[in-house]
């Protein structure tokens, strides 16, 4: 049997009792370590579970999935995933492969950023489409998420931005070589994401100035003064939440990963009351008034 087990978001004890019981009886347990990370590492998990874990990096899960599954045909094998197992397409794909091989599987759900983000007080049913913000390079600066944020805010909805994670990415130079070299792991911070978002509206404004046609119906998805919420290490004791303007957020350091960013839509009274506790000191009290369009 193949088990896909969610670990939740904080530390070793965020696993469910069901998940822990399965880990203890499996003959092999893999730890997926590139779509997300906990605030504790492999060693802390091994100590708490009382057993050895095998790190499953991108190459292992995406190119060597058959060997993980081959074991699962005869024995109990588990793959541990930070958050919930269905947070990444990779895991959906893995279940499909198991089915094709006739291998039984079981999912053990857990919290993920998609629902735990509720901890900032913005109600989950007031979010539009979730977007992913990738690291830009000098030559690759996609901004399709900008239009999704715009579409959400036009409807008064919040946007959860999942921030890029680069773990075990081969260097550009070693891509064609036999022996790959890897870049150090990177986790996009709330301030990096905010800087990219600010860059996009600067470009949009420049673009508008050069086109009189566009100028007539010009409106930005958000501005420097748009209310945002930055979250770091959700679900752990060191969790940090800050509500501030996008400009402020671009200069805010929330420390160690993982970070997530919310671009707010319309704010309901209960949401406003709850957000107050996270408001940065320099944030104007008027931030909640007539929010969308500001």
Q: Which of 1, 54, 73, 126 binds its own copies (CB under 8 A)?
A: 126
Q: Which residue in 203, 201, 208, 204 sits closest to 263, CA to CA?
A: 201
Least CB distance to its own copies at residue 179 (A): 32
Which pair of structure tokens corresponds to residue 96? Answer: 């499909």
Q: Which of 157, 163, 246, 287 binds its own copies (CB under 8 A)?
A: 157
Kindly report the backbone phi and psi dihedral angles of residue 164, in degrees, each rounded to the nearest multiple of 5, phi listed first: -60, 145
d(CA 18, CA 265): 38
Q: What angle do CA 64, 137, 9 make, to 5 degrees?
A: 55
d(CA 17, CA 23): 10
Cis peptide leading into residue 258 (ω within 30°): yes
Is 259 assigned a ligand-binding role in the annotation?
yes
Pick 22 or 254: Cβ nearer its own copies? 22
Least CB distance to its own copies at residue 82 (A): 13
226 in contact with its own copies (CB under 8 A): no
Q: Which of 38, 56, 128, 159 binds its own copies (CB under 8 A)?
A: 128
Would you say 43 and 90 are in contact if contact means Cβ atoms under 8 Å apart?
Answer: no
Is 234 assigned a ligand-binding role in the annotation?
yes
Q: What angle do CA 11, 68, 170 make, to 5 degrees?
A: 75
Kindly compute the dihedral angle of the four CA atoms of residues 247, 251, 255, 260, in this order, to the nearest 10 degrees: 20
21 in contact with its own copies (CB under 8 A): yes
d(CA 187, CA 31): 19
Least CB distance to its own copies at residue 172 (A): 27
Would you say 233 and 249 are in contact if contact means Cβ atoms under 8 Å apart?
Answer: no
32 in contact with its own copies (CB under 8 A): no
123 in contact with its own copies (CB under 8 A): yes
Would you say 87 and 112 are in contact if contact means Cβ atoms under 8 Å apart?
Answer: yes
151 in contact with its own copies (CB under 8 A): yes
Q: Which residue in 66, 121, 120 sits closest to 93, CA to CA?
A: 66
Site size for its own copies (CB under 8 A): 56
Of 91-99, 165-173, 189-197, 198-206, the segment contacting its own copies by CB under 8 A is 91-99
104 in contact with its own copies (CB under 8 A): no
Is 113 assigned a ligand-binding role in the annotation?
yes
Is 291 assigned a ligand-binding role in the annotation?
no
134 in contact with its own copies (CB under 8 A): no
Q: Which of 251, 270, 286, 289 binds its own copies (CB under 8 A)?
A: 270
DSSP 13: G
Least CB distance to its own copies at residue 216 (A): 24
Q: What does the binding site for its own copies look like in residue numbers (CB under 8 A)?
A: 6, 8-18, 20-21, 83-87, 89, 92-93, 95-96, 99, 107, 109-112, 114-116, 118-119, 121, 123-132, 151, 155, 157, 162, 234-235, 270, 273-274, 277
Q: Which residues are annotated as a binding site for S-adenosyl-L-methionine?
A: 9, 84, 87, 112-113, 163, 234, 259
């Amino acid at each position: 049997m193949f088990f896909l087990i969610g670990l939740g978001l904080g530390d070793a004890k965020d696993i469910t009792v069901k998940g822990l019981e399965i880990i203890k009886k499996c003959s092999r347990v893999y730890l997926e370590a590139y779509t997300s990370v906990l605030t504790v590492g492999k060693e802390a998990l091994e100590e708490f579970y009382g057993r050895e874990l095998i790190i499953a990096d991108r190459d292992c899960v995406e190119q060597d999935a058959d060997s993980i599954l081959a074991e699962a045909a005869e024995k109990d094998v588990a793959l541990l995933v930070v958050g919930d197992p269905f947070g990444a397409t990779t895991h959906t794909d893995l279940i499909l492969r198991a089915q094709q091989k006739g291998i039984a599987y079981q999912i053990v759900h857990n919290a993920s950023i998609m629902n735990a983000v509720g901890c900032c007080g913005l109600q989950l049913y007031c979010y539009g489409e979730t977007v992913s913000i990738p690291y830009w390079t000098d030559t690759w600066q996609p901004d399709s998420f900008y239009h999704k944020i715009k579409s959400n805010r036009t409807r008064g909805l919040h946007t959860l931005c999942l921030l890029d994670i680069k773990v075990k990415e081969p260097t550009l130079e070693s891509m064609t070589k036999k022996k790959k070299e890897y870049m150090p792991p990177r986790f996009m911070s709330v301030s990096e994401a905010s800087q990219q978002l600010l860059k996009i509206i600067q470009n949009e404004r420049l673009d508008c100035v050069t086109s009189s046609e566009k100028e007539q119906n010009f409106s930005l998805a958000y501005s420097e003064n748009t209310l945002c919420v930055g979250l770091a290490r959700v679900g752990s004791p060191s969790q940090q939440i800050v509500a501030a303007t996008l400009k402020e957020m671009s200069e805010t350091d929330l420390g160690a990963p993982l970070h997530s960013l919310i671009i707010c839509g319309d704010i309901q009274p209960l949401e406003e009351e709850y957000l107050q506790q996270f408001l940065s000191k320099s944030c104007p009290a008027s931030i909640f008034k007539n929010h969308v369009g500001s």
